Amino acid sequence: MHSLSGIEIPRNIHRAVAVIEGGPLRPEIRGIVVFTEMDDGTEVCVSVEGLPDYRPAEGNSQPVGPHGFHIHEFGDCSEGDPNMPFQSAGGHWNPYNMPHGNHAGDLPSLFSNDGVAKMCFYTNKFKPADVVGKAVIIHENPDDYRSQPSGNAGRRLACGIIRAD
């Protein structure tokens, strides 16, 4: 067992799930992220709909999409400020104090195809039990994976709390 803010979490969790819901900037977003334990890491599968279509950068504005996709420190999807929602989820989850681009919570970007994104990938940076109680965030803009400490993936469009399944 390990502790998460005083809550004992059993280490034998082999699967975790986050139900994604859009916030005030994009309420139509809905989806699921499934974390499945594998021998030396975790398979992460995401299926989400309601994403905005890609819009290239113009002038001083950032592009919309591909969408930054991260595990954030705190399992708190309180909307807060409707213009900058989900700030209560904190920054990228970074248990090994790595530079941005190599945080355990840095996940591949989501590409919207008529509002839908689906993908699966493998990571050896964590097991499902490690991420229970954290949040998954979908951002408006792509992540550059290099700006420190957490890059600039833009506003937070959707959030889901990771729970044991």
Residues with catalytic function: 70, 72, 92, 100, 103, 106, 139, 156
In sequence order, what DSSP letters do the residues of 121-144 get, joined into one string?
EEESS--HHHHTT-EEEEESS---
Tokens (6 digits) for 23: 């916030």
The kind and range of the H/E element at 111 are: none
| Rounded distance between C-alpha atoms, residue 157 and residue 109, angstroms | 14
Residues 60, 64, 68, 74, Cα dihedral to 10°: 90
